[in-house]
Structure 1
Amino acid sequence: MPNCNAGYDLMVFVGRQRLLEHRQREEIMAALNDDYGIRISAGEVSDLAMRFSQYFLRLHYAKADRIRKILENDGGWPMHIDASGENGRGTLFVVMAGWRKWVLGAWKIATEKAELILPCLRDTVERFGPPCAGMRDLGRAVTPALNDLVSELGLEIPVLACHQHFLADIGKDLLNSDHCALRDLFRRTKVQADIKRLIREFGGKIGLQIDDARQTVIAWQEMEDHTYQLPPGKNGIAVVRALSQWVIDYHADASGLDFPFDRPYFDFFNRCMIGSKAIDAFLRIPSDDRKVTGALKRLGRILTKVACEVPFRHIVKRLQRRAELFDELRDQLRTAKKLPENETVADIDAMRKRLDDWTVSLRELRPKRGPAQDTRDAIDIILKHIDVHGENLWGHIITLPENAPSRMRLVSRTNEIIENFFGTIKHGERRRSGRKNLTHDFELLPAEAALVYNLNQPDYVSAVCGSIDRLPLAFAQLDKEEARRKEKGLPSQKMSNLDKILQLSTSSLSSADRHVVRTENMNQRIIKAARSRAPRVAC
């Protein structure tokens, strides 16, 4: 490579290992030494990985016309947009072609604002053509940015709201206050802490015989006579310990979609109630061992605080009533942990009709007066969201040109494609760094790293370089073409010039600003001015 003692093939190897395989620098150095006898420093690994991302950005832009032609032959491309960061830092904004799952653009933006997102959308459309649809979440930045883009293009482009985000927005407004009140009530009564203390105490009594005790619990579970009498001795204590652990293992009831689709403290309440009833059954035929019976009663007294206290029942009753409404809405939109596969045009039409009919029935069920104030408020929350976002919930059926492979195609009802993409990046970065908090890593991660993930898409690789093995040659051709343009006095290949603009509008302390502000000279300058008596200047 120009001004470098490394070859293109070495850069590609390091870049792929670093950015796609998420291997640490020491792992890459060891692989190069063991497999090829090449020794390089850790700093050179970082340098080559950064060069690789920059070369890949150049290649992506150089092949923009070819990518655009492929997307046009598909009949268009749905634009999926989203931004992600860590603790408000290192915000990465990505534009993705939904049907192909190709990242078309990626930028680091100072903060998620419409005036920073819109230039990125314009740049993408200029290079790859206008989209046939736009998919977004309900964010206050992406919504006006995408609306402004569609208005500027002057085309009939449906702007779609993610169904998952739509439901999450409603669910939080419906359930958050009561769910937080239930959580605070659990903390105030110390139910979970008391149960954990019992578990530790029972574990201490069982001692080194814990493995045998676990086998006893398994055997007790498999008993066919379903006896309600607990075994005596340490075996009985082990059963009570397992029952206590079952009560606080309420996270096992979660679907993995987080609040409001999962309500963990509501699940905890249900397990406490079930556990309390089970203890009543076990105490009807008490164990022959008084210590086992005493342990069971101690657990029962803790759970009685949940079963008998009035505040628990009031909060749960209201939460359950609202959760039933939310789950009904969720059923209308057929959103579960995984969306139904191979949805058809008829499925979308039927879903829309079901939601419209359900909305009409909800308006009719809304109490006009009387004591049902909470029910009125809950229904009003749902109806308000439907009124605001209703027109953006539909339009997924895209009619394609006559030369397209098919006449109709559906856009995904959620932004799950790009959400999962960010999840993959963060999972890889945690694997590489070993850190749970990725604030520092996301600040250092170049935006071009998102484009590199296109190498996981065989059709993209075929479009830009033919095969992975030909990637070093494609990079070499870029430099050859750049040298030829310089010889002829032609301008360089057009690159994105948005970087400086995208880092201006922010109130947060970015890494670049931190190098200026967080210095000893800055401290001394301000402290010196604060302690001085500057002369007054006459106006």
Structure 2
Amino acid sequence: SRHRRIVIAPVPLTPPKSPFAFDLIAEAGRLRFLGHQQLLEIQERFREQGLPTIPLRTIQRLTDRFVLYHTATHLESLPRLREALEEFGGYVLVLDGTGAAGKMTLVLTDDDDSGGTGWVLLAAPIAEESVVRVTPHLERLKRGLGPPVTGISDQSAGLRDSFRGVFPGVYLLLCQFHVLRSIGESLAGKRYARFKSEVERSGVKRALRSLVQRLRRARGKCREARQTLMWVEEILAWEVETHGRTFPFVWSALEFYGRCEKVGGALEAVLHRPGRRANGSPYLQLEKALQRLRAPAKRGARLTRDLPALRERWGWFERTRRVLGYRNGPVPLSPKGTLSEEALERGRRRQDWLEGKIEEEVGEKSRSSVTWELHRLLRGVRRSCGSSREELFAPNVVAQVNGKQVVRH
């Protein structure tokens, strides 16, 4: 007779000198870093699974150990990662340092805009973006993955010098996002910060939000109430219509003020029509709210003085954005991943056009301090674009993907 078949579950693998198996460590790490759960929530989840109550300090150690094991596994798997990246024609290395000086993280990823994977290839804490701190990590990446197809970074000298030292002869492009962000912040400057502060202090946003709530509760059916509600909602819609863009890719205070101006002009035309209105009519309530941008006199004067200067600066920022081919649409903000040779040449011609327009502007003499300030900022824009000309529109790099030639950047 045959013996009865017995299936015995394997003994869970356990790290040396540890009472907790690898599967529990993996579950703790998954809940903490992928499930974004707090230590108390993880403790409760384990209790629901029939485990005894694990101290919070022990759960913290389990998650710390998960990070160490995960990092070790990733570094040991670099040869396999290299094989996977070769199916995409190699990798385009994006270098970025996040965080404040002293507590930064160097993140090295494969660019996904140019047909890559978007995978994080290596991440490591660094004290600063210097050659001494960054070079060892790039050398480790080179040993495991080989040289990249090309590289992309911001204007950090430490990142760029490290890349050129470890990967000589490999194209290093300049990230358009960081270039534009730097230009936008420079053009906005303290003048925009002051303008935004004055708009916020005026209280007009609070007054308009209060008014729209009253109008919605009242559900007025008269034409005046409906029109007022439509105007107020049009002003407040600026928050939604920015599509998640942040400063300096949208100057929210300038956009808000412009909408108030537009509605205020339409409202003034209506109020000048003959006919009497009650003191509490929707039109007069809206007019009272918008008047906060003009009072008190000193604040209103500052807003009126800064407005034309900021609009001119925003116009220059938009010209620069269009020249670099950067679409200012919904997040994520990004240019087209790859450009044809014709598009690259067109981009270079646009860059020449922008530099010519800036030359014309700064060549005009003026006694206005506002104009002098604008000319100084535009010279900075010209230097930023001119010094990075070849890195903003570099020649395409072609890679082999499944036997086909594909432009990776």
- Structure 1 residue aligned with 2:124: 107
Distance 2:284 2:391 in 1: 60
Q: Distance in 2 between matches of 1:58 and 1:198?
A: 56
Corresponding residue of 2:189: 176
Is 1:298 matched up with 2:288? yes
Of stretches 114-123 and 69-78 in structure 1, the one that deviates more from structure 2 is 69-78
Paired position in structure 2 for 1:486: none
Name the SS for the 2:19 alignment partner.
Answer: coil
Whole-Å separation in 1 of the counterparts to 2:280 and 2:80? 77
Q: CA deviation at 1:262?
A: 0.5
Give TM-score scaled by structure 2 length.
0.79
1:159, distance to aligned residue in structure 2 (A): 0.4
Equivalent residue runs for 1:358-369 within 5 Å = 358-365=350-357, 366-367=359-360, 368-369=363-364
CA contact (8 A) 1:118 1:146 kept: yes
For the residue of structure 1 that corresponds to 2:155, the secondary structure is coil
1:328-381: CA deviation from partner (whole Å, max 9, x where unpaired) = 2212313333457975542xx344323322233334433334337566445433
In the other structure, the counterpart of 1:445 is: none
Secondary structure class of the residue paired with 1:407: strand
Matches within 5 A, 1:455-470: none
The alpha-carbon distance between structure 1 residues 345 and 356, as it changes in their structure 2 partners (threshold 3 A), is closer
Helix, strand or coil for the counterpart of 1:44? helix
The residue matched to 2:327 in structure 1 has which SS?
coil
What per-residue deviation string (whole Å, max 9, x for no partner) do you get for residues 201-250 of structure 1?
x79xx9xxx5xx51545x65xx7xxx4x459xxxx9xx58x866865665
1:167 alignment partner in structure 2 = 180
Where 2:151 maps in the other structure, the secondary structure is: strand
- 8 Å Cα contact 1:161/1:393 also seen in 2: yes
Relative to structure 1, the CA distance from residue 114 to residue 182 in structure 2 (aligned partners, 3 Å threshold; closer, same or farther) is: same
In structure 1, the residue matched to 2:404 is 406
Cα contact 2:181–2:249 (8 A) shared by 1: yes
* Separation in structure 2 between the aligned mates of residue 269 and residue 127 of structure 1, nearest angstrom: 53
CA distance, structure 1, for counterparts of residue 266 and residue 44 of structure 2: 58
- Return 5+ residue gaps in structure 2 as ranges: 1-13
CA distance in 2, matches of 1:60, 1:306: 61
Which one-letter code corresponds to 1:61 in the other structure? L
What displacement does 1:392 show? 1.2
Amino acid at match of 2:303: F
Mapping of residues 93-104 of structure 1, within 5 Å: 93-98=106-111, 99-104=116-121
Indicate if the aligned counterparts of 2:397 and 2:407 stay in contact, CA closer than 8 A: yes
Aligned amino acid, residue 147 of structure 1: R
Q: What is residue 262 of structure 2 aligned with on the other side?
A: 274
Aligned to 1:256: 244
- C-alpha displacement at 1:311, in angstroms? 4.2
Q: Secondary structure at the match of 1:291?
A: coil
> What is the match of residue 135 of structure 1?
152
Shift of 1:84: 1.8
> Cα gap change, 1:296/1:103 in structure 2, threshold over 3 Å: closer, same or farther?
closer
Please give the secondary structure, in 2, of the residue aligned with 1:400: strand
Alignment length, in residue pairs?
378
2: distance between equivalents of 1:248 and 1:370? Answer: 40
Contact 1:397 1:408 in 2 (8 A): no
* 8 A Cα contact 1:95 1:106, kept in partner: yes
Q: Which residue of 1 aligns with 2:10?
A: none
Label 1:113 to 1:43 Cα distance change in 2 as closer, same or farther (>3 A). same
Q: 1:214 aligns with which of 213, 216, 237?
A: 216
Question: Structure 1, residues 425-445: CA drift from partner, whole Å, max 9, x if none?
Answer: xxxxxxxxxxxxxxxxxxxxx
What's the offset of the Cα at 1:157? 0.7
The alignment status of 1:119 with 2:136, answered yes or no, reads yes
Equivalent residue, structure 1, for 2:320: 329
Alpha-carbon distance in 1 for matches of 2:208, 2:176: 43
Whose helix proportion is higher, 1 or 2?
Answer: 1
Alpha carbons 1:74, 1:405 under 8 Å: kept: no
Residue 42 of structure 1 corresponds to 56
Q: Could you tell me whether the CA contact under 8 Å between 1:33 and 1:39 is conserved in 2?
A: yes
Query: Displacement, 1:37?
Result: 4.4
Distance in 1 separating the partners of 2:207 and 2:353: 49
What CA distance in whole angstroms lies between the structure 2 residues aligned with 1:341 and 1:312? 34
Q: For 1:118 and 1:5, locate their aligned partners in 2 and report how far apart those are by CA, in whole Å.
A: 39
SS of 1:259's equivalent in the other structure is coil
Flag structure 1 segments of 5+ consecutive residues without an equivalent. 412-539
**Alpha-carbon distance change, 21 to 29 in structure 1, aligned in 2, over 3 angstroms:** same
Of 80, 90, 95, 1:81 maps to 95
Q: Which amino acid aligns with 2:165?
A: D
On the 8 A contact 2:207/2:289 being kept in 1, the answer is no
Going from structure 1 to structure 2, the CA distance change for 1:281 and 1:389 (only over 3 Å counts) comes to: same
- The change in CA–CA distance for 1:290 and 1:342 in structure 2 (over 3 A counts) is closer
* Alpha-carbon displacement from aligned partner over 1:130-159 (angstroms, at most 9, x marks no partner): 2121111122432222232233xxxx2110
Contact 2:81–2:145 (Cα < 8 Å) also in 1: yes
- Counterpart of 1:145 in structure 2 is 162
Give 2:6's aligned residue.
Answer: none
Q: What amino acid is the match of 2:278?
A: D
- 1:24 corresponds in structure 2 to 38
Pick the aligned partner of 1:319 from 296, 307, 310: 310
**CA–CA distance in 2 between the matches of 1:169 and 1:83?**
15
Q: Deviations over 1:19-61 (max 9, x none)?
A: 2212122222222232354543322222222222212222222
1:124 aligns to what SS in structure 2? Answer: helix
Question: How do 1:441-456 and structure 2 match up within 5 A?
Answer: none
Output aligned runs, 1:357-506, within 5 Å.
Answer: 357-365=349-357, 366-367=359-360, 368-371=363-366, 376-395=375-394, 397-400=396-399, 405-411=403-409
What is the SS of the residue equivalent to 1:141?
helix
Are the aligned partners of 1:396 and 1:410 in contact in 2 as well (CA < 8 Å)? no
Choose between structure 1 and 2 for higher RCO, CA contacts under 8 A separated by at least 6 residues: 1
